[in-house]
Structure 1
Amino acid sequence: MTYGTLDGTLPPDPPKPKHKLEEYDGGTTLPDGSGVYSDGTPFDPPSVPGGSGGGKGTSVDTPSMTLFADNIGKLVPPTQAASKKLEPISVAPGAFYHADQIRTKVSGLNGDAGLKSQYVKVLADLAQGLGDLRDGVTQLAAKYTSLEDANSMTATDLQTAMQSATGDFTALLTDSGGAAA
């Protein structure tokens, strides 16, 4: 039996891979440019107002608190986007000892642990923490509408407004393998 089409011609060659296959040389370093990811749509951080720094004390006013909260809020979507881009990535280096070691460290034994899982959790914690920080500062700005009002702020008021964010950033530390402060 011959392999071909109904008219007797051979099918076209399959498409060539975009990368060049190379035999592993046993080295432990990568040449420059290997493993680099560049995003064609980088995130532009919000501008931060400057000051002269010549004041004699610290003062906080509602517009500054609101601007800070808005700027923090602008950091949430790129953090969530990074997490979504990382989620579908799967490491499949092959089926030999070193490949199994790589796969286990990156994805865990069952594909639900390892560095990838830690980074997904950390990015989720970061997005949640930034959102809660934004909400806490917005809450303070609404409660203390003038500099005189802000002067009456207690440590308990500040702690209450920041409590959720503190918990999120503590989770970020533990999810990344660190110890909570």
Structure 2
Amino acid sequence: MPATRNQPAQPVHQAQQYNGGLTLTPGQGTFDNPDPFTVPPVPGHDGSGSGTTVNTSALDVFAGNIDLLIAPTQTASTTLDEVSISPGAFYHANKIRVDVNGANGDDGLKAKYLLVLADLGQGLADLRDGIKQLSHTYTTVEDASHMTATDFATAMNLSQADFTSLITDGGGSGTTSAPGS
């Protein structure tokens, strides 16, 4: 594998039978992604001008950047779905298998992460769609100046529910009221 960030190149790992040893050789237990995700560019501003302005085309750029985050989320979910932990048939191996896969292969840490990734993908899609809705409704600065907080909240409502589900599906507790209330 190629070297990244001051790390030496590592050989491709070959699966092998457990030899009974109690140590790992250097390099085991690491992963280098051969196809890393490139973060979308963020729009810039030249810093000129004064006051507050609204650039409605920036909403489209933002929605497009959010859209670019959906595919890696789906790829992560597909990749994780293929993982199956089968460490053996002794107490600690069974404990690992149950914790990761669940008692019947349909629960556990893996299932929680799959739910979280699904919530994240849906939340990103709903956020993208809400931003696009705002961009189409408020096409000029003058239009945007008439946007109400209710209009904005309505456009963001679906994504907020998805991100709350992401938290609860991951084992956390989602917020049930607005901050400060």
The bucket for the TM-score relative to the shorter chain is: 0.7 to 0.9
1:140 aligned partner:
134
Query: Judging changes above 3 Å, is the alpha-carbon distance between structure 1 residues 57 and 93 closer, same or farther for their aligned structure 2 residues?
Result: farther
The one-letter code of the counterpart of 2:128 is: R
Query: Judging changes above 3 Å, is the alpha-carbon distance between structure 1 residues 114 and 54 closer, same or farther for their aligned structure 2 residues?
Result: farther
1:87 aligns with 2:84: no
The one-letter code of the counterpart of 2:65 is: N
On the 8 A contact 1:60/1:147 being kept in 2, the answer is yes
Q: Report 1:41-80 matches (<5 A).
A: 41-52=35-46, 57-80=51-74
On the 8 A contact 1:137/1:161 being kept in 2, the answer is yes
CA distance in 2, matches of 1:111, 1:20: 24
How far residue 39 of structure 1 moved from its aligned partner, in angstroms, is 2.3
Query: Judging changes above 3 Å, is the alpha-carbon distance between structure 1 residues 21 and 73 closer, same or farther for their aligned structure 2 residues?
Result: same
Query: Judging changes above 3 Å, is the alpha-carbon distance between structure 1 residues 136 and 93 closer, same or farther for their aligned structure 2 residues?
Result: same
2:124 aligned partner:
130
CA displacement 1:30-78 (0-9 Å, x = unmatched): 6653332322211111111223557655432211000000000011011
The one-letter code of the counterpart of 1:88 is: E
Q: Could you tell me the TM-score, scaled by structure 1's length? A: 0.82
How many residue pairs match? The answer is: 162
Which structure's CA Rg is the greater one? Answer: 1
Q: Report 1:1-181 matches (<5 A).
A: 18-19=15-16, 21-25=18-22, 33-52=27-46, 57-181=51-175
CA displacement 1:125-164 (0-9 Å, x = unmatched): 1010001000000000000001111111001101110111
CA distance in 2, matches of 1:53, 1:157: 29
On the 8 A contact 2:56/2:141 being kept in 1, the answer is yes
On the 8 A contact 2:87/2:93 being kept in 1, the answer is yes
CA distance in 1, matches of 2:25, 2:160: 41
2:4 aligned partner:
none
2:11 aligned partner:
none
The one-letter code of the counterpart of 2:166 is: L
- SS of residue paired to 2:125: helix
On the 8 A contact 2:122/2:159 being kept in 1, the answer is yes
2:5 aligned partner:
none
CA distance in 2, matches of 1:100, 1:53: 59
Question: Identical aligned pairs, as a percentage?
Answer: 50
The one-letter code of the counterpart of 1:42 is: P
